[in-house]
Amino acid sequence: MLNQQTIEKLHAMRMRGMADAFTQQQEEPQTEQLSFEERFALLVDRQWNWRQNRALERRLKDGRLRGPACIEDIDFRAARGLDKQVVRSLIHDSDWVRRHQHIFLVGPTGIGKTFLARAFGQKACRDGFTAYFATAAQLFRELELARADGSYGKKLRMLSQVDVLIVDDWAMAPMAETERRAFLEICDERYLTRSTLLTSQLPVAKWHGQVGDPTVADSILDRLVHGAHRIELQGESMRKKKAGRGGKDAE
């Protein structure tokens, strides 16, 4: 009875991990051979891991990064110009995020840019950072809706404060005036304090023309290009190659 009350209190205090570990200890006779300090340490470890996992799940959900894409599943065997050493150097403790650097993933459709972007974002979340994934079309649509319902300021603060902003299919179409002004505002707020990852089918040299206004384009690219790692991919579509084979790195 006393043990059940203890478990109920742990759940009431939202200490699910410790409650599960305490229940497990009651069911495993060998734990009686452990000292009080050892048993207590196991309870604390379980609670710590439970909280860490919950926090990670929340970061992945808020960042729209729940799914199969992860660094461990990147296919380095495909002939697409992806340097394994470069990727490893970037993902080590998500060093590029710690240094407030950017990544550009450029290449033809189907080469795996979206998968790589999500994998970089997922790794950043695993390393304790926050991230947010959206296609360029989604991002600008969300900003337009935020203007309409009066939440633009709140949306802009969120985009400005997230550690890694991932924009997929960047520069696919010429930007409208409201879009380039909004993105410049985001870049201004994030400059030298946050990281951005952009994927695009167009080479970086053509981005300026897609932004449109030369002055705004200069301002946006000046805040991004100089602190960016460029990963230029090439080759045949991996989506076509892996169709029907269950390949993960094919988005």
Between CA 217 and CA 211 the distance in angstroms is 5
Within 10 angstroms of residue 178's Cβ, the number of other Cβ atoms is 12
Structural domain boundaries of the chain?
2-61, 65-242
Mean pLDDT of the chain: 90
Between CA 216 and CA 240 the distance in angstroms is 37
Stretch (H or E) spanning 164: strand 164-168
Q: Are strands 102-106 and 228-232 parallel, antiparallel or unpaired?
A: parallel
CATH architecture of the domain with range 65-242:
3-Layer(aba) Sandwich (3.40)
- The Cα diameter of the chain in Å comes to 74
Structure tokens at 222: 């000046």
pLDDT digit string (tens) for 201-213?
Answer: 999 999 999 999 9
pLDDT digit string (tens) for 109-136?
Answer: 999 999 999 999 999 999 999 999 999 9
Q: Model's pTM, two decimal places?
A: 0.84
DSSP SS3 for 154: helix
Residue type at position 213: D
